[in-house]
Structure 1
């Protein structure tokens, strides 16, 4: 067993602490941007990030997953706030959705995530990486019309992913672009060179230095007309005037609306989408985990449900485990859940004590951090490896990638899964049997058909086609010695074919583990008795 899985938090804090700082800087603009894209108060995104880090991080069985507000739910939140009559009513649905997720965990529904093919999960990771890169390009150059966290192809500002990049030339901010390039250079220098030069460069990581450089650049150039970075290109954390105004940012659910049917429909929608997105993220992060640990999925649903109950009670957005933050955590060296928990405390402390300082961080610097995260998820070597694995792996992979880029996360995964299922059915259709023509002596065609280990109703068409194409005067050997499951529908096909065979002078020799039978009178009775291939 690897060291990361045995030494625990106390033995890994030197890796977890720097990773938590990176996750904090990644999560901060995403929490605010997802709230903005959802049409919710900005503070609600920070609440969800804090609860997702501290509470869900503590309850979860995942050592490297990070939870918070999810971009995949932004459209649902935006629509629901309007249809339910306000944010307070929507919070009731968040609380109820959390209790429903807890029910899913109790009913052990976490197994659903294991039914998604590996090619689709790898396509999800790669698609998310490409989305991060494409969405951060405008922010890198100082065009921030579209909020962080708007990951759908058709964006909040009326553009789509590619038109926003093509129109970028009209909106470049020189100051934001210069510090973004400097930040990217710092990150690459830290990752490629300095991290190998000494422990100090692993404890103090590149993203922290890049953010510090961004703040210094903003302060030094704020009076320079050519290089000054305007407020819309900076992080915008709500700044309370006093402790009372800080408490006033919390919103509480209106439980008087709990009897509305629309509240319950929204609650089930949140629970289903949040659970599916979480389980897919768990599957993906487990694949990225260097220690190859397996997250208990039912416990994860319980943790996410508890997080959504608390988040909804104090005015936060719905929570899921999030692949962007989780992958940033892994790639920054996070090894245990301490990094996720501490990033939540950093969010809490920062919004209370230093919101003014946070509002001096250029968004373009954080875009540089996310560009590195996106590249590590969507490396060219991944495409090469999946192509080398063959069409059965590459087609669902690339369809998932394109689906995520051109639609949204869950739609893209759904398309990839559908294609994967079709490929499985085609392969099952093709591999149901093996046909061998032995000879044509004395005018008799000797043909041997060997059935596969599992033959289901999906294979009916291919088997029926082969049997119907047999010429007259054929001697057919039907070998079922390797078959462990033979569908009732296929046995019926053999039963029906036996009658046609007599008319066409086709003799059938059935070979099984029990022996050999010439022209058995009843295939149904034979397979009911055969231990090797039972009909169901």
Structure 2
């Protein structure tokens, strides 16, 4: 870490801290875990993981994608302390994965899926923050799945919010958005004060000040502490401190279910971290490339530490990383500052943090969501761009209407299908001049090309003269050869003349396929 860009890193770290605080609490609540465990995970993600990570801009902490796993694991294992044992084991497994260089597997994820993930997360952030901006805070912060814990979904929650608007929240949200847009405008005009003063702090101060003014002079606009403000658990005595901390129970290692929970946590957390790392590198203005295997080691260390002190499992998180980058972060110092600020604030000023309206934080996230959603160019809709457009759009729809990991899996499947369809057509070309037809095998032809070739052969009519040239193909699948032989026999009865060139049985020989590809054959 370096202090060269301290002003920008401090400003970014402060913005991330203000956004991370309610998210950590909301994820803990959604996970059925103690609220303090979410804060501990956020602190560990900022301080510990940052020290070992290979990324300069990423931020780690408790993730929404693990909430269901955490909730189910606590129920299956019987207690949160038993679950913490699984978190420590998951961290150890992750570290071993990093040591085995398993991070390189992330390179197999197509860029179209990563781009779709960026746009989808931006859209989801906007959709999830609209209710908070309107003053409808029934759903916890940090829950990003389409189907919510309160039995609503993303869109029904927005409709509910529109039918129960809170004038104070709307006033705070609109004012904070106007302040940020104005601030960015003057910042781009090279006014030094607007570049140095942390925009996140200004948004929070604006929200707190407005709400206190409402309390004194416009009671109908006032946002009550019980529902509309940040709720940090207070530690005012030794008894509070002892009840806030939980620790692993090592006797749980005798329970096979602990290992299953640990493996599940390791797998999902690793996938989410590696994908988020790809996003971080893509958003990084300096285009620095991070080591995915080193990131797995860092996440493993972080999870072991978090589990040992009673924190939730953590991953590298796209939302907080995006806030960090768009807030002007230059180095990993910003993520470290975020963790330190959270530690100091939770210990010293939890009462002051509880004055922050969720509406002002929603305005901050709305702007970040907009930047993310518009950060990628939409691929053109045509046959040539099918391998890019299909996984891009499927990933977006999957994440919006389900959750992050399922959306990515659907995007990957769509990518595989589009590649098959594209290769199916690109290996074979056809040209027609009246009744003279040329079918050309441009490259190796396999059984994957059989449906397309069959449809071509079936389309020929009586009187056609078909010339099939396979000289460019070094390998022709046995199924393809049989299809051509069958077509040649049937052509006699269909009134079609057929001539082959470069089509022979030896081309589907496995041995020949290998030999033909050696450079000196």
Superposition TM-score, scaled by structure 2 size: 0.90
- Asked if 1:226 corresponds to 2:220, the answer is yes
Summarize the Cα distance change of 1:417–1:525 in structure 2 as closer, same or farther, 3 Å threshold: closer
- Asked if 1:494 corresponds to 2:484, the answer is no
Is residue 32–residue 45 contact of structure 1 (8 Å, CA) maintained in 2? Answer: yes
Q: Deviations over 1:145-166 (max 9, x none)?
A: 1110111111122221111111
Aligned residue number for residue 305 of structure 2: 310
Aligned-partner Cα distance in 2 for 1:322–1:521: 54
Residue 15 of structure 1, CA deviation: 2.1
Aligned-partner Cα distance in 2 for 1:454–1:204: 61
Aligned-partner Cα distance in 1 for 2:158–2:432: 60
Is residue 312–residue 318 contact of structure 1 (8 Å, CA) maintained in 2? Answer: yes
Q: 1:104 aligns with which of 94, 97, 107?
A: 97
Is residue 31–residue 69 contact of structure 1 (8 Å, CA) maintained in 2? Answer: yes
Q: 2:263 aligns with which of 268, 283, 295?
A: 268
Aligned-partner Cα distance in 1 for 2:504–2:406: 51
| Contiguous gaps of at least 5 residues in structure 2 | none
Summarize the Cα distance change of 1:238–1:497 in structure 2 as closer, same or farther, 3 Å threshold: same
Segment of structure 1 superposing worse, 431-440 or 491-500:
491-500
2:65 is paired with a residue whose SS is helix
1:63 is paired with a residue whose SS is coil
Aligned residue number for residue 290 of structure 2: 295
Summarize the Cα distance change of 1:451–1:333 in structure 2 as closer, same or farther, 3 Å threshold: same
Residue 25 of structure 1, CA deviation: 0.9
Q: Deviations over 1:81-102 (max 9, x none)?
A: 1121011111111111111111
Summarize the Cα distance change of 1:453–1:76 in structure 2 as closer, same or farther, 3 Å threshold: same
Aligned-partner Cα distance in 1 for 2:55–2:452: 45
> Aligned-residue CA RMSD in angstroms?
2.7
Q: 1:283 aligns with which of 278, 294, 299?
A: 278
Aligned-partner Cα distance in 1 for 2:200–2:392: 31
What pairs with 1:157-172 in structure 2 (closer than 5 Å)? 157-172=150-165
- Asked if 1:509 corresponds to 2:501, the answer is yes
Residue 205 of structure 1, CA deviation: 2.6
Aligned-partner Cα distance in 2 for 1:523–1:416: 35
Superposition TM-score, scaled by structure 1 size: 0.87
Is residue 126–residue 377 contact of structure 1 (8 Å, CA) maintained in 2? Answer: yes
- Asked if 1:348 corresponds to 2:343, the answer is yes
Aligned residue number for residue 528 of structure 1: 512
2:244 is paired with a residue whose SS is coil
Segment of structure 1 superposing worse, 25-34 or 75-84:
75-84
Aligned-partner Cα distance in 1 for 2:425–2:236: 70
Summarize the Cα distance change of 1:472–1:157 in structure 2 as closer, same or farther, 3 Å threshold: same
What pairs with 1:210-249 in structure 2 (closer than 5 Å)? 210-224=203-217, 225-231=219-225, 232-242=227-237, 245-246=240-241, 248-249=243-244
Aligned residue number for residue 256 of structure 1: 251
Q: 2:314 aligns with which of 306, 315, 319?
A: 319
Aligned residue number for residue 363 of structure 1: 358
- Asked if 1:76 corresponds to 2:75, the answer is no
Aligned residue number for residue 127 of structure 1: 120
Summarize the Cα distance change of 1:174–1:342 in structure 2 as closer, same or farther, 3 Å threshold: same
Aligned-partner Cα distance in 2 for 1:194–1:522: 70
Summarize the Cα distance change of 1:383–1:167 in structure 2 as closer, same or farther, 3 Å threshold: farther
Summarize the Cα distance change of 1:351–1:468 in structure 2 as closer, same or farther, 3 Å threshold: same
| Contiguous gaps of at least 5 residues in structure 1 | 1-7, 511-518
